[in-house]
Amino acid sequence: MVYGLNREVRRFADLNELSASAAEDINRLIVRAVRLKSRFSLALSGGTTPRLLYRILGTTYRDKIPWKAVHFFWGDERYVPHDDKDSNYHMAKESLLEIIPVPVENVHPIPTTYAEPAEAAELYEKELRKFFDTTGDTFDLVLLGMGKEGHTASLFPESPALAETNRWALAVEVAANPPKRITLTYPVLNRADAVYFLISGQEKAEAIARVFDTSTYSHSCPAKGVNPSNGKVVWWIDSSIPDF
Ligand code: 6PG
């Protein structure tokens, strides 16, 4: 179902079915992109929802996806050590990266060891700009989640980061634990070829309704502001979310 503004909604019975379908779709995207341009850039989401998807990609598709051509990035990171249980890198490493044959140089974690998070954000932005050079496009696929109040990555409601028009990565303090984060911004997210939101849990229903409500604004529901100018947005939603 397409909701204008190139937003598509795909509904599934539960998170298991959603994750299995998303894994197959991502497999197809990667195989096609690697055949055409020999590489695929994927920005991973944190949180808990994508964990099962990552596990399926790392097991069912371990020997099907050309992992040596896939480059992993993150949409945001908590400013904690990479071996911390709250680290998005740690979650992806455990559920996917350590079970697939991906070259270490293809994994681009957001640094979290600098005294100043702003320095880490600047360095990550430099890495992103170098990887994507000047083509204008960025990620082949960005995976995102959404909090119950409408945040995505670490872009939270009313955050000054929502008004950023140049920087691709910023250090932010958010109303969640841990509070110090590095987040990608709309300028880089909205140059992606595709963005997949993975949404499960009835606590997200109100925020989803606001995303698709034409009378609301992205500053109060940041997930609404992710609309790549030359890309597509697909909302992968399970049946715990009532119709909107
Ligand atoms: C993070 C994520 C964040 C997440 C949402 C949903 O660092 O926490 O990037 O944006 O996607 O908070 O999280 P759940 O999947 O756990 O509901």
The pLDDT value given to residue 89: 98
Distance 129 CA to ligand 1 centre (A): 25
The pLDDT value given to residue 216: 87
Band the pLDDT of 4: cuts 50, 70, 90: low
Domains, the chain? 7-238 (3.40.50.1360)
Mean pLDDT over 160-177 rounds to 97
Give the number of the atom of ligand 1 that is nearest the alpha carbon of residue 181. Answer: 7
Mean pLDDT over 182-194 rounds to 97
Give the number of the atom of ligand 1 that is nearest the alpha carbon of residue 88. Answer: 7
Phi, psi angles (nearest 5°) of residue 107: -105, 120
Mean pLDDT over 177-188 rounds to 98
Band the pLDDT of 1: cuts 50, 70, 90: low
For the chain, what is the mean pLDDT? 95
Please tell me the distance from the alpha carbon of residue 96 to that of residue 1, in angstroms, as a whole number: 30
- What residues are in contact with ligand 1 under a 6 Å CB criterion? 45-49, 75-76, 88, 145-147, 151-154
72-127 pLDDT, tens digit per residue, is: 999 999 999 999 999 999 999 999 999 999 999 999 999 999 999 999 999 999 99
* Full-model pTM: 0.97
Q: Which pair of structure tokens corresponds to residue 221?
A: 């529901």
For ligand 1, atom 11, the nearest C-alpha belongs to 145
The pLDDT value given to residue 148: 97
Please tell me the distance from the alpha carbon of residue 158 to that of residue 50, in angstroms, as a whole number: 25
- In the predicted structure, residue 132 carries a pLDDT above the cut 90: yes
Cβ-proximal residues to 28 (8 Å cutoff; 6+ apart), any chain: none
